[in-house]
Amino acid sequence: MSTVGELFLEHKAEKYHTTTLYAQVYDWLFSGRRHITKVLEIGVKGGGSIRSWEAYFPHATIYGVDCDHLEHLETDRIKILTGRQEDQEFLKAQVIPHGPFDIIIDDGGHHSHQQQTSLLALWPHVTVGGIYAIEDIFYAFDAYYCPPGDKSTIVFLQEQVNRMICRPDALLLQGLHLVQFSYGLAILHK
């Protein structure tokens, strides 16, 4: 079986540090989960990563959310949902009905408000034992992606960790039991 890194290379996935850090973390996280049945990727772009997930998870339907019309990427197991990740009505009407999802990977718009909106809307639709990964969280330090006065996704996640430890009754992400950070990645476990 191919590794995530090998598949990212084969399918020309447009991920930052694809074959090194992200791929290594994903192999570590997902190697025992190849049997899962539903994956959601936010941000499809050229389709390299969604094709990689289709190959990596042979029994899964892979749903892709993108603001561009990318239906030409669809196969029997890849389904494209056209809309914006920060549009709660789109998420409710078009994405959530396909859940619950075993894995959600957010490689969408990278703006903090986009990441947090989709996380809050989709977290209840992650299976118990599932994973929600947010890529490229380092953009939180760029004023274009997190304007002054906005809460960065990193700070938002730190608050959730504090609540998980000290005030689980105030946790916005019910069922959250582990948060991991790696270079550019936040990984939430349900």
Residue 26's nearest CA partner among 54, 48, 5 is 5
Task: For residue 9, count CB atoms less than 10 angstroms from its CB and return exposed for 0-12, middle for 13-18, buried for 19 or more.
Answer: middle
Which strands make up the sheet holding 38-42, listed edge to edge? Answer: 78-82, 61-66, 38-42, 101-106, 126-135, 185-189, 178-182
Which of 14-23, 50-59, 65-74 has the least mean pLDDT?
A: 14-23
Predicted structure pTM score: 0.94
- Between the alpha carbon of residue 65 and those of residues 27, 96, 109, 114, the distances in Å are 22, 11, 11, 13
In the chain, % of residues over pLDDT 90: 74
Give the start-to-end residue ranges of the domains of the chain. 4-189
In the chain, % of residues over pLDDT 70: 97
| Model pLDDT for residues 63-118, shown as the tens digit of each residue | 999 999 999 999 999 999 999 999 999 999 999 999 999 999 999 999 999 999 99
pLDDT for res 1: 85
Lookup: tokens for 99: 């859940």
Does position 121 have pLDDT exceeding 60, yes or no? yes
Second CATH level (architecture) for the domain 4-189? 3-Layer(aba) Sandwich (3.40)
Does position 45 have pLDDT exceeding 70, yes or no? yes
Please tell me the distance from the alpha carbon of residue 107 to that of residue 50, in angstroms, as a whole number. Answer: 11
pLDDT for res 5: 87
Please tell me the distance from the alpha carbon of residue 144 to that of residue 63, in angstroms, as a whole number. Answer: 28
Find the farthest-apart pair of alpha carbons in the chain and give their distance in angstroms, rounded.
47
Whether residue 64 contacts residue 80, with contact meaning beta carbons closer than 8 Å, is answered with: yes
Does position 18 have pLDDT exceeding 90, yes or no? no
Query: Known catalytic residues?
Result: 110
